[in-house]
Amino acid sequence: MSGFGPPLAGKRILLGISGGIAAYKSAMLARLLKKAGAEVRVVMTEGAQAFITPLTLQALTGEAVRTSLLDPEAEAGMGHIELARWAELVLIAPATADLMARLAHGHADDLLTTLCLATTAECVLAPAMNQAMWAHPATRDNTRRLEGHGWRLLGPDSGDQACGDIGAGRMLEPEAIVEQLLMAPNAASDRAPEAAPPAATHEPVTGDAAGLTLTLTAGPTREALDPVRYLSNHSSGKMGYALAAAAAARGARVRLISGPVALGTPAGVERVDVTSADEMLAAVREAVADSDVFIGCAAVADYRAARPAEHKIKKTDETDTLTLELVKNPDIIATIAAETPRPFVVGFAAETRDLEAYARDKLARKNLDMIVANDVSRPGLGFGADDNAALVLWRDGLGGEGRRELPAQSKSALAEAVIDQVIARFRERASTNASVSRQDCR
């Protein structure tokens, strides 16, 4: 992980810990927040203390850990109000389904929920629960309600769970949570604790992408070899998530079809978690039915096992080699580009040589409207890095082509530049099609 910079230095962070197995990760989270220069105080629910002791968190933060709303000594000075006023950021990790439900409905039946109602600080939570609980309609409703109240959600991640299930619901790793806090637009702000949290709004969304519906894919896919092993790649999903955030901020309705990544859902984005290429294609086909633009940013595995093993493949002493039969995965972006009707289709090309030649070939061969190509062999750019550069190529609908180079910059800045090009080219294509239609009607 990259070294932590100054955005969290001196920030007063109240770390809330609720009662889930992921509470053990909160010790590392507290340590990383302290390492980043933050002041950290901890509040634990009764359930959290069944998984990790207050003494552990006290040793890591150097501050007494609060566990009870009815602590006579602390409440002699209205301790929960003092904590609520002290915090610049309230971070709850893990946030269980029960805690999220209580927060969503304004309960104040323990110290943590009470101070959340009393604080005007920025509020963030990292969900952690069984995959079925995360997918339940009640949890989805509570999530929307919390976001409407100004809460920001980080995660959850997808993968193996302590109960043995596999799916979305894992708490993000502590390193990913801190990275997300560092990337937040207001991470370095000096907002006073009296400032009000973001309020839910029902005003019309404005921006140059208002009225557009955009579907995009991000991250890797995982193709099972057996119940514990898979084929995948190094995609972090950062570029796709940055594109989703940029489009949503400019007024688009954004649907994000995501492979397994350790990233929080951008504000205002509808996220669907998938694992394999087949799952991603099915989700994309459903989403693009009423989409104006489709951006295929995911690093989809080209091949999958022809017959995934039912049980874990065992190493044997008889041979030093293992032969796997692989079959091609569906080409998601080519499939969408071949359908009629179809949205404006934008592809990505990650290459290690002959960047423009391969990108032009892919643009034509897959019948794309636009392609964003980047050289992942360049040090410090591409997979896993925070920066990237790109070459954008497009077809104008009348047989002509365009070209624009976007220099190395942060992935968030590059995402803005790419969305600039997507919106401009989409509007240009729509205008061209309308003009051709008018001529045909003469």
- In angstroms, rounded to a whole number, what is the distance separating the alpha carbons of residues 232 and 303? 10
pLDDT at residue 435 greater than cutoff 90: no
Instruction: State the pLDDT at residue 392.
Output: 95
- In angstroms, rounded to a whole number, what is the distance separating the alpha carbons of residues 245 and 195? 24
Q: Could you give the 3-state DSSP secondary structure of residue 111?
A: helix
User: Is 34 annotated as ligand-binding?
Assistant: no
CA-based Rg of the chain, rounded to a whole angstrom? 24
Catalytic residue (one of 116, 123, 163, 441): 163
User: Is 11 annotated as ligand-binding?
Assistant: no
178 and 224 in a single domain? The answer is no
- How many domains are contained in the chain? 2
User: Is 257 annotated as ligand-binding?
Assistant: no
- In angstroms, rounded to a whole number, what is the distance separating the alpha carbons of residues 203 and 201? 6
- Which residues are CB-neighbours of 198 under 8 A, at least 6 positions away? 150
441 noted as active-site residue: no
pLDDT in tens, 158-190: 666 777 767 678 898 899 898 888 765 444 333
pLDDT in tens, 278-307: 999 999 999 999 999 999 999 999 999 999
Q: Could you give the 3-state DSSP secondary structure of residue 206?
A: coil
Asked whether residue 310 is assigned to any structural domain, the reply reads no
φ and ψ at residue 355, rounded to 5 degrees: -55, -55
Asked whether residue 312 is assigned to any structural domain, the reply reads no
Q: Point out the domain boundary residue: 183, 200, 233.
A: 183
Mean pLDDT of 405-428: 89
Determine the structural domain holding residue 173 and report its residue range.
6-183
Q: How confident is the model at residue 360 (pLDDT cuts 50, 70, 90)?
A: very high
163 and 217 in a single domain? The answer is no
Report the 3 state secondary structure along 329-393: CCCHHHHHHCCCCCCEEEEEEEECCCHHHHHHHHHHHCCCCEEEEEECCCCCECCCCCEEEEEEE
CATH number, domain at 53?
A: 3.40.50.1950
Show the CA angle centred on residue 170, arms to residues 268 and 280, nearest 5°: 60
Bridge partners for 170 per DSSP: 157
Query: Is there a contact between 16 and 102 (Cβ–Cβ < 8 Å)?
Result: no
36 and 145 in a single domain? The answer is yes
Asked whether residue 208 is assigned to any structural domain, the reply reads no
Measured from the Cβ of residue 378, the count of other Cβ atoms closer than 10 Å reads: 15
pLDDT in tens, 187-228: 433 333 333 333 333 344 446 788 899 999 999 999 999 999
Q: Point out the domain boundary residue: 183, 205, 238.
A: 183
Asked whether residue 388 is assigned to any structural domain, the reply reads yes
153 and 238 in a single domain? The answer is no
146 and 269 in a single domain? The answer is no
CATH number, domain at 248?
A: 3.40.50.10300
User: Is 52 annotated as ligand-binding?
Assistant: no
pLDDT in tens, 90-149: 999 999 999 999 999 999 989 999 999 989 889 999 999 988 888 888 888 898 889 888
pLDDT in tens, 238-280: 899 999 999 998 889 999 999 999 888 888 899 999 999 999 9
